């Protein structure tokens, strides 16, 4: 046990900042099965380490959250078993969580100071025990390591490690899931009758077969979602009655409420325009100049085919905070080295 009450493994994890983790996830990408390659990146965008550390270190966390306009369930500690349900690897969560918990609770020195190697080692052990491909375990194992770092061992161990998947989905192979995601672009045998008015499905929860709405070609995702008149307020308090399953306020890229992760079909969306590109960085959701990134503002993204999205459980405006935080961290490290 280290002097501040952390186990040796927790101390090892906490040496890694967001930049180190970015290198780790990049290194692991080739080892993750295609079914979870994008999903893993989305999860790490949904639960950024710098934001978690800012909340932990704030003198008044509630005021800190208010300053950053955080709404919804932004605390990972409240959704340890469910935050990653959109990963295929979620079905192996009990085994992965147990393995990572055992490693964190042990007093042995980490077998490697390479975090990527540590993740692969745990994933390999779970995969061997479960009799599945290691590539299906690597993504969810990386998620488990980051979850442990953000919430601490006590909170991590307190959750039971349950799987919350529909039987219909849990029985599918990764290849079947990938095949399902590729469907929906065909207009059917009588599609020619639609003329230019092509209609595509948007899936917003692969675990629920009813979680779909239709998008007319070139519509923004939020505009299409608003035609889904089911009441989603019980599902997500941020949703406005009659406006569909995606939380929305302004529809002009000013609020950041409608951000989504694009699980499949990013190439079937319009390119990021200047306004969306600038605002999405201000919100802090992603720092990328990709023309069609995995994180989008649904009020700006037009659809030209079937897509599968993930709706994050919170929204906020913390891009400026992240920049200041990283500058402060850099200055602190520089002072410590002189």
Q: What is the pLDDT, as a whole number, of residue 3?
A: 47
SS3 content of the chain, % helix, strand, coil (to 5): 50, 10, 45
Taking every pair of Cα atoms in the chain, the longest distance, rounded to a whole number of angstroms, is 72
Q: Calculate the CA dihedral of residues 219, 220, 222, 226 and round it to 10 degrees.
A: -20
CATH number for the domain formed by residue range(s) 183-320: 3.10.20.30
pTM for this predicted structure: 0.94
Q: What is the pLDDT, as a whole number, of residue 303?
A: 98
How far is the C-alpha of 172 from the C-alpha of 179, rounded, in Å? 10
At 157-189, the pLDDT tens digits run 999 999 999 999 999 999 999 999 999 888 765
> Quick one: tokens of 162?
């349950």
What is the percent of the chain with per-residue pLDDT over 90, rounded to a whole number? Answer: 85
Least confident of 3-12, 41-50, 301-310: 3-12
- Residue 191 confidence class, pLDDT cut points 50, 70, 90: low
How far is the C-alpha of 16 from the C-alpha of 160, rounded, in Å? 26
Non-local CB neighbours of 187 within 8 Å, separated by 6+ positions: 194, 198, 199
Q: What is the pLDDT, as a whole number, of residue 197?
A: 77
Q: Is 302 helix (H, G, I), strand (E, B) or coil?
A: strand
Do the beta carbons of residue 161 and residue 89 sit within 8 Å?
no
How far is the C-alpha of 15 from the C-alpha of 2, rounded, in Å? 13
Domain boundaries, the chain: 8-172, 183-320
How far is the C-alpha of 286 from the C-alpha of 211, rounded, in Å? 25
Alpha helix segments (H runs only) across 114-173: 115-130, 135-151, 153-158, 167-170
pLDDT(51) > 80: yes
Non-local CB neighbours of 5 within 8 Å, separated by 6+ positions: none
Q: What is the pLDDT, as a whole number, of residue 322?
A: 80
Least confident of 120-124, 180-184, 288-292, 324-328: 324-328
Alpha helix segments (H runs only) across the chain: 8-13, 18-28, 34-46, 49-57, 61-67, 93-105, 115-130, 135-151, 153-158, 167-170, 174-182, 221-225, 274-283, 319-337
Do the beta carbons of residue 97 and residue 157 sit within 8 Å?
no
- Around Cβ 321, how many Cβ atoms within 10 Å? 17
Phi, psi dihedral angles at 321 (to 5 degrees)? -60, -45
- Of 333 and 60, the one with more pLDDT: 60
Q: What is the pLDDT, as a whole number, of residue 5?
A: 75
How far from the centroid of its chain's Cα atoms is residue 95's Cα? Answer: 21
At 131-158, the pLDDT tens digits run 999 999 999 999 999 999 999 999 999 9
Residue from 122, 208, 203, 133 nearest 164 by CA: 208
Residue from 238, 303, 254, 317 nearest 246 by CA: 238
What is the percent of the chain with per-residue pLDDT over 70, rounded to a whole number? Answer: 92
Do the beta carbons of residue 44 and residue 21 sit within 8 Å?
yes
Least confident of 64-68, 222-226, 233-237, 320-324: 320-324
At 12-31, the pLDDT tens digits run 999 999 999 999 999 999 99
- Residue 112 confidence class, pLDDT cut points 50, 70, 90: confident
Do the beta carbons of residue 71 and residue 314 sit within 8 Å?
yes
Looking at the DSSP assignment, which residues form a beta bridge with residue 296?
Answer: 260
């Amino acid at each position: 046990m280290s002097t501040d009450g952390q186990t040796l493994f927790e101390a090892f994890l906490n040496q890694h900042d967001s930049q180190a983790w970015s290198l780790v996830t990049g290194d692991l990408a080739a080892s993750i099965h295609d079914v979870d390659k994008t999903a893993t990146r989305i999860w790490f965008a949904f639960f950024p380490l710098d934001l978690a550390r800012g909340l932990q270190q704030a003198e008044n966390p509630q005021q800190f959250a208010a300053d950053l306009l955080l709404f919804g369930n932004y605390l990972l500690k409240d959704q340890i078993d469910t935050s990653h349900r959109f990963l295929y690897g979620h079905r192996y969560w009990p085994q992965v969580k147990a393995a990572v918990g055992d490693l964190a609770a042990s007093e042995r020195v980490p077998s490697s100071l390479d975090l990527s190697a540590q993740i692969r080692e745990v994933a390999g052990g779970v995969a061997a025990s479960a009799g599945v491909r290691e590539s299906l375990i690597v993504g969810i194992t990386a998620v488990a390591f980051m979850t442990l770092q953000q919430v601490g061992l006590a909170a991590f161990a307190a959750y039971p490690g349950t799987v919350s998947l529909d039987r219909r989905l849990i029985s599918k192979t990764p290849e079947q899931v990938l095949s399902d995601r590729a469907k929906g672009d065909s207009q059917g045998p009588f599609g020619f009758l639609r003329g230019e008015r092509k209609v595509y499905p948007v899936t917003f929860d692969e675990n629920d077969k009813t979680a779909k709405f239709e998008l007319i070609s070139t519509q923004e995702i939020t505009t299409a979602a608003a035609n889904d008149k089911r009441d989603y307020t019980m599902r997500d308090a941020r949703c406005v009655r009659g406006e569909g399953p995606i939380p929305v306020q302004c529809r002009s890229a000013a609020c950041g409420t409608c951000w989504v992760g694009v699980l499949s079909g990013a190439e079937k969306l319009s390119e990021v325009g200047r306004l969306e590109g600038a605002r999405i960085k201000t919100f802090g959701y992603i720092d990328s100049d990709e023309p069609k990134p995995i994180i989008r503002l649904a009020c700006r993204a037009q659809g030209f085919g079937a897509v599968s999205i993930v709706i994050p459980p919170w929204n906020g405006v913390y891009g400026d905070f992240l920049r200041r935080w990283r500058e402060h961290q850099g200055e602190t490290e520089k002072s410590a080295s002189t």
